[in-house]
Amino acid sequence: MAMTNNKTLCFECNQEKITYFCKGCSKEFCLPDLIEHRQTLKNELHLITNEYNKFKQTINEQKQNPHNHSLIKQIDQWEIKSIEIIQQKAQDCRQVAIESLQTCINDIEKKFNDLTEQIKHLQKENDFNEINLTHLTNQLIEITQELNNPPKVSIQQNSQPLINDISIILLEKKPKWNKWNRNAITVAGGNEQGQKLNQLDKPRGIFIDKNKNIFIADCSNHRIVEWKRNAEEGRSIAGGNEEGHRMDQLNRPTDVIVDQQNHSIIIADRGNRRVIQWMNQNQQILIDNIDCGRLALDKHGYLYVSNWKNNEVRRWKMGEYNEGIVVAGGNDRGKQLNQLNLPTFIFVDEDQSVYVTDFNNHRVMKWRKDAKEGTIVAGGNDRGGNLNQLSCPEGIFVDHLDQIYVADSTNNRIMRWCEGKEKGEIVVGGNNEENQPKQFNGPSGLSFDDEGNLYVADYNNHRIQKFEIIL
C-alpha cells in the first residue's frame, strides 16, 4: 500500500518536504527553514526592542533635560544673535552720543566761563541790582537744563524692529466636547421625592466611574446610592440606616468620590462633621471635626476638602491625616482675592490648581499651587442672571482646554466659561425653574463621563439628568 504524499514545496529551499505553515507570512517552511525563519523573526524583534529602548531613553532625557530639545536650542541661538546685534547697536550709539555730548559740554563750559567773568566783574565793581542778579540766576538755570538735556542730542527709537521677532505657535487644541442635547434623559431618581430605591431626596454631589455607573450623595436620605448604567433603581452602598452618627450611618452627606485604586468611596458627611471612607461595608473616619462641604482627589493621591464654615480648602496626603494644608482661602470670610465666602464644590487640575465655587460671592476662584491668593475665572460681577454673572454657583468641572463648567444654581443653568473671558455661555438649562427635560430646579453637582455626556444633580427635582453629547 502506497504512503500518502503529504509533502509540499518549502518556500525557502524550494524543495518538496514536510512543511509547516507560518500564520504571520502565510508561507510553508520545512523544519530547518522554519527554525531559521523563527530565528530571523526573533532577531527582528530584538532590533525593534532596541529601538523601543532607545526611544524610551530619548523620552527620559527629554523629561529630565527639556533644555536640550532642538526647539530650545533654536531659541537659544536666536537669543545669542539678537543680543550680539543689540550690543553692537548700543556700542555704536554710545560712541556717537559721547562725541556729541563732549561737544555740547564744551559749549556749555564756555557759557559758564562767561557767567563766571560777569560775576567777578560785578563783585569787583560792587555795582549791581536785582536785574543783574535775576539775569545771572536765569542764565545758570538755562545752562543747567542744557547740560541735563542737550538740545542737539536725543534718542530716537525706530518703529522698525532691530531684531527678527520669534514666537511659539501652538497647534490649537480642539474641544473634545462642544454641544449637548438640550433635552435631558433622567438616569436616576425622577420618581418624585422619596426614600425608595427608585427615588432620591435632594441629591448633591455625584461621581461617574469608567463604567458610567453613578454614585450619588442622596443628601436628605442620608445615604450614598449607586445607580448602575441603565438601571431602573439604585442600591444603597453607604448609610441608609436613618440619620445618625454611628459608623454605619450618615447625616446629610453632600459629596462622594470613588477612589478607584482601592475600590473605596470617600464621603463628605456634613451633618456629622467628618470625612469618612467606606470599603466593603467597613468604615473609617479619615478627618474628624471638620465642617466639610465637598471633596476632590488629585492624581498624586491628595485629598481636598472645602470647609464652608472656615471659608477655606485644605489638602491632605491620603493616609496622612494631620492638620492638612490650606490651598485656598483661610483668611476669614470676605470677597478679597485671598478670601472665600462659603466655598462649595472644588476641582483640581493636572497642575494641582484648585478651582472653587465661591457660593456667596457668586464667582469661581482659581488658586494655583502654593499661591497666596486666587484669581476670578467666572462670575465675580455681583449676583445676577447676565452672561457675565453667576448666582450661587455649585458644581464645577474643568476640561483639557481649561474651560470651566459650573452649575449656576439659582439661575437654573449650566454655564461654560473660558478662562480670561469676561462672560460665559449657557450650555444647557436657563429655561426657568421647572421639571421638564430641558429645565432645572437648583442644579447642584455635575460631572462628565469619558464620552463627554454631561450629568447634573437636579437638586429640587430629586433626579440626575444626563445630557447626551452631539458629535
Between residues 421 and 428, the one the model is more confident about? 428
Report the 10 Å Cβ neighbour count for 230.
Answer: 7
214-228 b/e with 16+ CB inside 10 Å = b? bbbbbbbbbbbbbbe
Give the contacts of 413 (CB within 8 A, at least 6 positions apart). Answer: 426, 427, 428, 429, 430, 440, 443
On the question of pLDDT at 171 being above 60, the answer is no
Give the contacts of 452 (CB within 8 A, at least 6 positions apart). Answer: 176, 177, 469
Mean pLDDT of 191-210: 96
Give the contacts of 192 (CB within 8 A, at least 6 positions apart). Answer: 199, 462
pLDDT given at position 319? 83
Mean pLDDT of 403-416: 96
Cell of 136: 545771572
pLDDT by residue (tens digit) across 57-96?
Answer: 878 877 788 777 888 888 888 889 888 888 888 888 888 7
* Whole-structure pTM value: 0.66
pLDDT above 70: percentage of residues in the chain = 94
Whether the CB-CB separation of 186 and 232 falls below 8 Å is answered with: no
CA distance 59 to 53: 10
On the question of pLDDT at 165 being above 80, the answer is no
pLDDT given at position 149? 76
The sign one gets for the Cα dihedral 233, 237, 238, 243 is positive
- Which among 377, 359, 2, 399 is positioned nearest to 178, based on CA atoms? 399
On the question of pLDDT at 218 being above 80, the answer is yes
The CATH number of domain 185-467 is 1.10.30.50: no
Tell me, rounded to whole angstroms, the distance of Cα 163 from its chain centroid.
35
Mean of all residue pLDDT scores within the chain: 89
Mean pLDDT of 456-462: 97
Please name the amino acid found at residue 434. E
- Burial class of residue 65 in the structure, from the number of CB atoms within 10 Å of its CB (0-12 exposed, 13-18 middle, 19+ buried): exposed
* Domain ranges across the chain: 8-64, 70-148, 185-467
> Which pLDDT band, with edges at 50, 70 and 90, does 128 fall under?
confident
pLDDT by residue (tens digit) across 288-306?
Answer: 999 999 999 998 889 999 9
Give the contacts of 198 (CB within 8 A, at least 6 positions apart). Answer: 189, 191, 232, 233, 234
Whether the CB-CB separation of 321 and 331 falls below 8 Å is answered with: no
pLDDT given at position 1? 45
Per the DSSP assignment, residues forming a β-bridge with 275 are: 268, 287
Per the DSSP assignment, residues forming a β-bridge with 236 are: 225
What does DSSP assign to residue 351?
T
